[in-house]
Structure formats: C-alpha cells, structure tokens
C-alpha cells in the first residue's frame, strides 16, 4: 500500500521559503549583535541557554578518510542545516533543536532479525571503537560540505543485530514527537521521517552511523544522538535522530518518496547527469568557502566515491533508478 502524502504545501514552495529564511537569518545576525552585548554582563554567554555544552568524545580512532578534503568550518556545519522536524529554513534547526532530549535514548531493532532488540545509545558507543572520517556531503539542493564525522560503520551494528536471511533492506525512522519537535505539527512530510538502504549499500564500508562531528558529541541540529551518513548519496538519505531500525524483505518507501515520487527516488545516488526537477545536479556550491559569489565546482558521480560503490549498481539504469 502506498500511503498518500499529507503535504499541504507543494514542495515547489519550499525553495522560496528558504530564500526568505536566509534573508531573515541575515537580518537576525545584524540585530543579534546588540542583544549579545546586552546579556554579556549577566550570563557571560548569550547562547548558553539554547546550545548545550560541547562535549568531546574520548578514544576516537583517526582514519585517513578524506585527508585531501578541507573541512567545512564547524560554524557552518552546525548552523546551516536541514532538519524539517524543527522547521524548513536552514537556520531553524540550530535555533530550535535544543528542545530535543537525547538522553535517555534507545534504538529499537525489529523486523527480519533473529530476535527484536533495544539498544541504549551508550551501548552503541561500546560496540566498536569510534572512527573519525572526513566525508564529502552533497545536498540535492545544490550545496555541499566536508564534515569530519565520528561514528561506527553501520555494518558493525548490523552484525550485532543479527538480521535473518530474508533481510534485503534496512529502514530507519526518526523520532516524531510534537512536544520536542515543533515542525512535526506541520504536515510537510509523512512523519516519522524514514529512509532506507538496500542491504549491500548498508553493509558497504563507507556507510556510517554517526554519533559525533569534529571530535564532539553530535549537536542536536545535526541529528543527535545517532544519524546515518551515506556519503555517495544525497543528504536526505542521512536520516537524523534515529529511534527505530527495521530489516525488511520489501523496498521501503521513504518520506521524501511519498511527498514527491517524481523528485525523490529510493537510490538517491549523487549523479551529475540526473537533474532533480528543481535543481541541477551538475555542479555544487561548497558552503563556507567564499560567500555567494564563489565559483561552483563540478559534481562527481557518486559524490567522488565511485571506486568504492559503483559496483553496487552495475547493470542498473541510473536514469530510472534515481
């Protein structure tokens, strides 16, 4: 059964709203200067109330992933976000996601597994040593970043979960709690936000379950306490704040596919030759490297990870399986 989209605003309206929001953010920053000055004497740090203290993760294994990349500044990574549970503008998640409670947090693992399980976030930290990997990230809207993620290979968690031989796909679900996530009151997407991978994509060594970035616990706006990172796919595959993982025999239908099947397919592989109806995918704008007038760079097939993942799609028509 295909669940019909609940969307009452057309996806085509989202872009203008974002342009508007960026303008609002710019104005907000200008006004914010005076405000910060006014509260300095009181709290010492005007953002303290909204942003929880940054927390370092101990014992991270450094890896050579992404050595050639220049990391996008922390400030950009944590203030230019997509997390519709907290609003549709890029500035909303940094402003509002502090209401998300990330402890206690458990992830339930169900479907085609030997035995359904629940795992606390603290125990996910203990399954295997956490690695740091700098990955290129590419949003379907045409911008990109390079982010030093901290996490464990999804493959490690899958092995721990013990899927059955019937498991052909893995599906992920975000928390959908109106109390903590104001955006969930709006019918922009069919909540909970969900995404899926084919089993071989999920087991690919590049696929990461991230718990941190820049050596620290994930900020809420980036998907705390646990989010997916699939660097050869568009950003929307990187589902945030995961509470449920389900193994299944059937291909999952993601929130974005339900909202607009013409625009969003299951695979969502970065591909400069297959344009999104509203955004060209031929080039990208790397955030934080030179303002609005910077030169765009050419987008690479599979976001530059073809050597590691192209074999997963050999013989598939990538125009049809977009």
Ligand X SMILES: Nc1nc2c(c(=O)[nH]1)N[C@H]1C(S)=C(S)[C@@H](COP(=O)(O)O)O[C@H]1N2
Q: Which spans of this chain sit near Mo ion (rule: CB under 5 A)?
A: 82, 139, 235-236
Are 48 and 40 a contacting pair, CB within 8 Å? Answer: no
Distance in angstroms (rounded) separating the CA atoms of residues 207 and 214: 18
Q: Choose one: 120-128, 237-245, 278-286, 289-297; the region binding ligand X (CB under 6 A).
A: 237-245
Residue 193 binds to ligand X (criterion: CB under 6 A): yes
Residue 252 binds to ligand X (criterion: CB under 6 A): no
Site for ligand X in 117-156 (CB under 6 A): 139
Out of 65, 84, 266, 305, the only residue in the binding site for ligand X (CB under 6 A) is 84
Nearer to ligand X, 112 or 139 (CB): 139
Out of 72, 79, 81, 271, the only residue in the binding site for ligand X (CB under 6 A) is 81
Are 63 and 133 a contacting pair, CB within 8 Å? Answer: yes
Spell out the residues 6+ positions from residue 302 whose beta carbon is closer than 8 angstroms to its own. 232, 269, 270, 271, 309, 310
Spell out the residues 6+ positions from residue 250 whose beta carbon is closer than 8 angstroms to its own. 168, 169
Out of 105, 236, 247, 305, the only residue in the binding site for ligand X (CB under 6 A) is 236
Residue 85 binds to ligand X (criterion: CB under 6 A): yes
Nearest residue to 77 via CA among 28, 148, 152: 148
In whole angstroms, the minimum distance from the beta carbon of 165 to ligand X comes to 30
**Where does residue 42 rank: exposed (0-12), middle (13-18), buried (19+ CB within 10 A)?**
exposed
Residue 96 binds to ligand X (criterion: CB under 6 A): no
In whole angstroms, the minimum distance from the beta carbon of 82 to Mo ion comes to 5
Nearer to ligand X, 149 or 247 (CB): 149
H helical segments located in the chain:
14-43, 74-77, 92-96, 121-127, 154-161, 199-203, 255-259, 306-309
Are 82 and 14 a contacting pair, CB within 8 Å? Answer: no
Residue 271 binds to ligand X (criterion: CB under 6 A): no
In whole angstroms, the minimum distance from the beta carbon of 115 to ligand X comes to 27
Residue 83 binds to ligand X (criterion: CB under 6 A): yes
In whole angstroms, the minimum distance from the beta carbon of 52 to ligand X comes to 16
Distance in angstroms (rounded) separating the CA atoms of residues 277 and 262: 8
Residue 174 binds to ligand X (criterion: CB under 6 A): yes
In whole angstroms, the minimum distance from the beta carbon of 177 to Mo ion comes to 22
How many positions of this chain bind ligand X (CB under 6 A)? 16
In whole angstroms, the minimum distance from the beta carbon of 139 to Mo ion comes to 4
**Which of Mo ion, ligand X, none sits in contact with 102, Cβ below 5 to 8 A by type?**
none
Around Cβ 302, how many Cβ atoms within 10 Å?
21
Distance in angstroms (rounded) separating the CA atoms of residues 126 and 20: 43
Q: Choose one: 23-31, 118-126, 236-244, 288-296; the region binding ligand X (CB under 6 A).
A: 236-244
Question: Which single residue brings its beta carbon nearest to ligand X?
Answer: 235
Out of 222, 269, 299, 303, the only residue in the binding site for ligand X (CB under 6 A) is 222
Nearest residue to 198 via CA among 163, 242, 243: 163
Distance in angstroms (rounded) separating the CA atoms of residues 107 and 239: 14
Question: Given the rule CB under 6 A, which residues bind ligand X?
Answer: 81-85, 139, 174, 193, 222-223, 235-236, 238-241
């Amino acid at each position: 059964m295909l669940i019909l989209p609940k969307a009452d605003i057309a996806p085509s309206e989202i872009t203008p709203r974002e342009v508007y929001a960026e303008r609002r953010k710019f104005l907000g920053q200008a006004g914010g200067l005076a405000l910060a000055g006014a509260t300095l004497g009181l709290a010492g740090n005007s953002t303290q109330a909204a942003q929880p203290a940054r927390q370092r993760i101990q014992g991270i294994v450094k890896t050579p992933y992404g050595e050639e990349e220049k990391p996008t500044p922390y400030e950009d990574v944590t203030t230019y976000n997509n997390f519709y549970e907290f609003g549709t503008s890029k500035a909303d998640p940094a402003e509002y996601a502090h209401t998300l409670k990330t402890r206690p947090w458990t992830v339930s693992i169900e479907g085609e597994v030997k035995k359904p399980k629940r795992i606390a976030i603290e125990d996910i930290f203990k399954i295997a040593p956490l690695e740091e990997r700098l990955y290129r990230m590419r949003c379907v809207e045409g911008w990109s970043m390079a982010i030093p993620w901290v996490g464990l290979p999804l493959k490690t968690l899958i092995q721990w979960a013990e899927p059955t031989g019937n498991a052909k796909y893995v599906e992920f679900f975000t928390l959908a709690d109106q109390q903590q996530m104001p955006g969930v009151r709006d019918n922009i997407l069919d909540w909970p936000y969900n995404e899926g991978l084919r089993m071989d994509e999920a087991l690919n060594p590049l696929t990461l379950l991230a718990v941190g970035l820049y050596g620290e616990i994930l900020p809420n706006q980036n998907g705390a306490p646990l989010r997916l990172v699939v660097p050869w796919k568009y950003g929307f595959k990187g589902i945030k704040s995961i509470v449920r993982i389900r193994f299944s025999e059937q291909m999952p239908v993601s929130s974005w596919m339900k909202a607009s099947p013409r625009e969003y397919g299951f695979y969502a592989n970065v591909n400069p030759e297959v344009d999104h109806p509203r955004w060209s995918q031929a080039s990208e704008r790397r955030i934080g490297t030179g303002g609005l007038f910077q030169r765009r760079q050419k987008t690479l097939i599979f976001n530059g990870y073809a050597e590691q993942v192209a074999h997963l799609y050999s013989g598939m028509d990538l125009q049809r399986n977009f």
